[in-house]
Amino acid sequence: MSESVGPRRGEGFWRTLSSLRLTLVLFLLLAAASVIGTLVPQNLPYEEYLRMYGAVAAKLLDLMGMTDLFHSWWFLGLLGALVVHITACSLKRLPATWKALKAPQRPLSDALFRSLPVRRVLEGDDLSHLVDSLRAELLQGGWKARVEKLGNEVHFLAQRGRWSRLGAYVAHTGVLLVLLGAAIGFAFGFKGFMQIQEGEGLDRVQERGGKSWRKLGFEVRCEKFHLSHYPDGTPKEYRSDLVFLKDGKVVLEGPLRVNHPMSFEGYVFYQASYGANARITLEARQDSSVPPRQFKMEPGDTVALDPQGRVIVRFLRYESDLQGRGPAVLLSHLKPEGPPVTGWVFQRDSRAVLEGWHLRLLDAQETRWTGLQVKQDPGVWIVWVGCFLIMAGCAMAFLGAHRRLWVRVQARKNKVVCWVAGSSSRDLPGLDRALERLCGAWQQKAGLRFSNKEGKNE
**445 CB-side CA count, 13 A:** 15
The residue among 173, 208, 169, 175 whose CA lies nearest residue 79 is: 175
CA distance to 353, 409, 415, 439, per residue, from 126 (Å):
107, 11, 7, 16
DSSP annotation of 104:
P
* Contact indicator for 381, 181 with CB cutoff of 8 Å: yes
Report the distance separating Cα 250 and Cα 222, nearest Å. Answer: 13
* Contact indicator for 301, 329 with CB cutoff of 8 Å: no
Indicate left, alpha or beta for 144 from its phi (over 0: left) and psi (-120 to 50: alpha).
beta
What pTM was estimated for this model as a whole? 0.65
pLDDT of 457? 41
pLDDT of 387? 95
- 66 phi and psi, to 5 degrees? -75, -20
Residue ranges with strand state E in 111-234: 118-124, 144-150, 153-160, 190-197, 201-207, 213-229
Which parts of the chain have pLDDT scores under 50?
1-3, 455-458
pLDDT of 177? 94
Report the distance separating Cα 357 and Cα 434, nearest Å. Answer: 87
pLDDT of 453? 53
The set of residues, in sequence order, having a beta carbon less than 8 Å from that of 110 and lying 6+ positions away, is 455, 456, 457
* Contact indicator for 72, 65 with CB cutoff of 8 Å: yes
DSSP-derived 3-state class of residue 306: coil
